[in-house]
Structure 1
C-alpha cells in the first residue's frame, strides 16, 4: 500500500523515515513499555515501602503539564468505580491535605516553584508523598528526607512519557490497596503489551501490518476530530488530539461523539479540490480552494456498543475507528450483539496501548510532513 497523503516521505519507506528521524521521535515513542517496566522494577526494589499501605483519606495528584495530567486522568477514569476514596488531579497542593492523604507530584521540571511548593507543603503536613520528577535541584531539597523519590529511569521527552506517568499512578494505587480489581493489575504484563505495540509500529513494517502507520496515513491530509462516546473514551480522545498537536504538529480537535454528530453537517463544508496543485492555484481565476475533508476518529478503549456504532454510522465514510486490538474491530461485531465486558486490567492495558499507538502515529505524521 503506497501512502499518497504524505507530501514528502512514503510511510512504507523505512530507510527514508529513519534518515528523517534525526531527533529520535520513533525511538522515544517506542520506549513506553520500558518506562512502565522501570516503574515496576522500582516498586519491586521497595521504592514504595515507606508509603502507608492502608486506604488513605484521599489521593491527590499534583501535575501542571498536559502529559502528566492526561496520564493521571486516564488511569483514574479507568479505576474510578473501584476506588473507595476520592482521587483528584490538581495543579497545586490543596490547603486541606494532612497525614491521612497520599500526594503524587509529577512533572519533568524539578525547579518548577509551584511543584516544589506542593512537595514542601505535603511534607510539612505529614502526607505520604511520592515525587515522580527528576531528583535534583530544589525538588530534591524540598522532599528530603521524607518524600519518596521515583524519578524516571528511562529518559524521554515529556510528550512521550504518558505511560511512565500512568505507571507511577497505578503503582501507588496498587500499594494503597483500594480493591482487589486494582491490586490484581500487573505492571509487568502491561509493559509487555506496550512493547508488542511498539514492535507492531516498527518503521520497517508496512502500513497494512503497522497500526501506527495506518493511523497516520488516515489522518494526513484531513481535518481531524477525535471523538469518544463514554466518559473515559472522551478523555482518551482529548489526549489523542493533544498528542497529534504537540508530537505530530497536526491541528486536531476532540469532542464527544454525540456533539460531532450534531454539528457534522457544518464541519464537512465544501468538497475538497484534491486535484488542484496549490502552487498553480489562483483564487481570482479558479475560485476558492476546497477545504480538507473531515476525518472523525471514534476512540474506544474497548469494543463499542450498538449505540456508539449507530451514532458513528451517521458520519458515513468520514468516520473511522481506533481500537487497541484487531479483534475489537467494529466490523466484526454481529449486529445487535453487545461487545463483551472487559476487565479493569484489560481496559487500562488497552488505554495505554492506544497511547503508544498515538505517540508513534504522531511521530510518523511529523516525519511524513517534514520534507
Structure 2
C-alpha cells in the first residue's frame, strides 16, 4: 500500500531514502555536465571520423545500460543500423562497425570478451565504464577508447546502482558526444548543456520539497498507487522513456508495468481494460470483508507523448478507449525544446515518480 502522507513530508522522505535515490534523481543534470567533461578529456571532441559507421552496436548489463541501448537505437536508428546485443557480435560485424559498451559495474567477464572479439574483427570499440575496472583495462588493451563513468561525490566509495536515475546519464552522455562526432545524432556541447538545464529545471519541479498538487512526479506516483500502469507512448522521445519507466518501476519500486507504443498499444492492451484488471471489475459478493481483503490491481493508462511529426496522433483514440472502459488516464507531455530535451524531461519526471513510489511503499519503510 502507498503511504501518500509520506509524499508531502520531505524529512520523512529523506529518512526513508536509504539508497540515495532522490539525490541521484536531483543530480542528473550535474551528472550530464560531468560526463560531458569526461568525454572531452578522453578525446572524443578531437575524433575525426572518415565516415559514418555501417552499424552501431550497443552492449551492456543492468537497467541503465539497457536504457542507453534503447535510446541509442531510437535516436541513431535513422542514420544507420543501431541495435543492442549481449555477449556476442553478429557474424557480419567488422571494421566498418562501431561497438559501444556501457556499464555501471565493469567487472562483467562477458563484456571484456566482447571487446576482445570486436578487436579481432576490426570493430571500433568505445566503452563508458568505471575507472580501473576489468572492462576498462580490456578495452585499453585492445586499443579502444575508454571514457570513465561520471560518479557523484557520494558514490565514490559506494556501489553504483544500475537503476539509479543518475546512472543512465553518466553512461548515455559520452555516447551522445561520440555519436555527434560520427554524424548519427546532433548533440553538440550546447545541446548537452540544454539537456542538463532541462534536467535541473525538472528536478526543481519534482523535488521532495514541492507539494504533491503542483509536483508532476508526486502526482503520478499517487495516481499509480494500487494500479497496473499501462504505459502508452507516442513519439521518438517517448518510446524509450516509457520502456525505461516500466523497468525502473520494477527494479526500484517492485511494481509491475507494461509499456507499448501507440497505435499498437490499443489492440495489445485493450483486452486488459475489459478483463479482471478493469477499473469496474469487482467480485459480486456484496457482503465480503473488504477491510482484510488485499487490494486488487486495477489498470491505469499512463500516456507519455512527444509532439508527433505532421500532427498525426493516436492520443484521442487512446483516451476514448480508456474512458470507454472507465479506466483512469495520466498524461505527460514535455515542454517545447529539442528532441533530447524532451527525452530528458520525460525520463526525469518518470524517474522521480518511480523513486517516490519506492519510498512511499510501506514495505520499504523501517
TM-score range, shorter chain: 0.7 to 0.9
Instruction: Give a deviation string over 1:6-28, Cα, whole Å, max 9, x none.
Output: 33743111121112212211111
Aligned to 1:153: 150
Structure 2 CA distance for aligned equivalents of residues 11 and 277 of structure 1: 29
Indicate yes or no: 2:13 matched with 1:6: no
- Equivalent residue for 1:200, pick from 201, 205, 209: 205
Q: Deviations over 1:72-116 (max 9, x none)?
A: 2123313433x1x32221113414333322211111232211100
Partner of 1:78: 75
Residue of structure 2 equivalent to 1:310: 317
Distance 1:277 1:177 in 2: 63
How far 1:364 moved relative to its partner?
0.7
Q: TM-score, normalised by structure 2?
A: 0.82
1:71, distance to aligned residue in structure 2 (A): 2.0
Give the superposition deviation at 1:306: 4.4
**1:137 CA displacement:** 4.1
Specify the alignment match of 1:261 in structure 2: 270
Identify unmatched segments of 5+ residues in structure 2.
none
CA distance in 2, matches of 1:186, 1:230: 20
Q: Deviations over 1:160-211 (max 9, x none)?
A: 22222222321111011237x5558721211111111112111111012212
Report the counterpart of residue 130 of structure 2 in structure 1: 134
User: Structure 2 residue aligned with 1:237, among 239, 242, 258?
Assistant: 242
Aligned to 1:186, what secondary structure does the other structure show? helix
Compared with structure 1, are the counterparts of its residues 233 and 277 closer, same or farther at alpha carbon in structure 2 (3 Å cutoff)? farther
Q: Distance in 1 between matches of 2:8 and 2:42?
A: 44
- Partner of 1:339 in structure 2? none
Alignment of 1:110-125 (within 5 A): 110-125=106-121
Aligned-partner Cα distance in 2 for 1:247–1:320: 21
Matched-pair contact (CA < 8 Å) for 1:216–1:361: yes
**Structure 1 residues 322-337: aligned runs within 5 Å:** 322-325=332-335
- Residue of structure 1 equivalent to 2:343: 351
Q: Could you tell me which residue of structure 1 aligns to residue 86 of structure 2? A: 91
**Structure 1 residues 97, 255: closer, same or farther in 2, change over 3 A?**
closer
Contact 1:225 1:252 in 2 (8 A): yes
| Alignment RMSD | 2.8
Q: Is the 8 A contact 1:110 1:138 kept in 2?
A: yes
Residues 45 and 177 of structure 2 are in contact (CA less than 8 Å); yes or no, is this contact kept in structure 1?
Answer: no
In the TM superposition, residue 276 of structure 1 has moved relative to its aligned partner by 9.0
- Corresponding residue pairs, total: 338
Cα 1:177/1:235, change in 2 over 3 Å: closer
1:105 to 1:311, Cα distance in 2 relative to 1, 3 A: same
Conservation of the 8 A alpha-carbon contact between 1:105 and 1:118? no
CA distance in 1, matches of 2:67, 2:96: 25
Report whether the alignment pairs 1:165 with 2:171: yes
| 1:178 paired residue number | 184
- What is the DSSP-based 3-state SS (H/G/I as helix, E as strand, rest coil) of the residue aligned with 2:148? coil
CA distance in 1, matches of 2:16, 2:31: 25
Answer yes or no: is the 8 Å Cα contact 1:177–1:183 preserved in 2: no
